Amino acid sequence: MTELTRFGISMEAGLLNQFDKHTAGKGYKNRSEAVRDLIRNALIEEKWSENEQVVGTVTIVYNHKVRELAEKLTHQQHSHHQEVISTLHIHLDNDFCLEVIVVRGKAKEVQHIADELIGTKGVVHGKLVCTTAGIG
Ligand code: NI
């Protein structure tokens, strides 16, 4: 495990009180872990805003009985085969399918692929989760 470095943080009592309530609600055991997650999130946001190499998951729900929709979604993924690295497909019920598509590439391209999939007519819900291949 990487060696930990300790450092102090000064802030107003009211702000710290709100932060403690926020982190307790999320189940953090201590402030350090909560602060580490905030820092990781900030670094991931920076990678995305600077169009660096990123990884994301696109989750979509759609009705496979809608004419040509499944074919269209498959076609879109094939046309981005360099970036689309894996797809999980679950038949939710007789009509609806859930797909989780893992996309890796430049942030703008990953965002573009997500927008295209989520924006396809007939997709009833979609969301891109922006993450990273790793933080140094
Ligand atoms: Ni299905």
Contact 122, 66 (CB under 8 A): yes
Residues around ion ligand 1, judged by CB within 5 A, are 91, 97
Range 83-91 average pLDDT: 97
- What is the CA(51)–ligand 1 centre distance, in A? 33
Is residue 83 helix, strand or coil?
Answer: coil
Q: Would the pTM count as exceeding 0.85?
A: no
- Give me the pLDDT at residue 116, please: 97
Q: Which amino acid would we find at residue 111?
A: Q
Interval 14-41: pLDDT, tens: 999 999 999 998 999 899 999 999 999 9
Range 62-76 average pLDDT: 95
82 vs 48: which has the higher pLDDT: 82
- What is the CA(54)–ligand 1 centre distance, in A? 28
- Give me the pLDDT at residue 134, please: 76
- Give me the pLDDT at residue 1, please: 64
Contact 103, 83 (CB under 8 A): yes
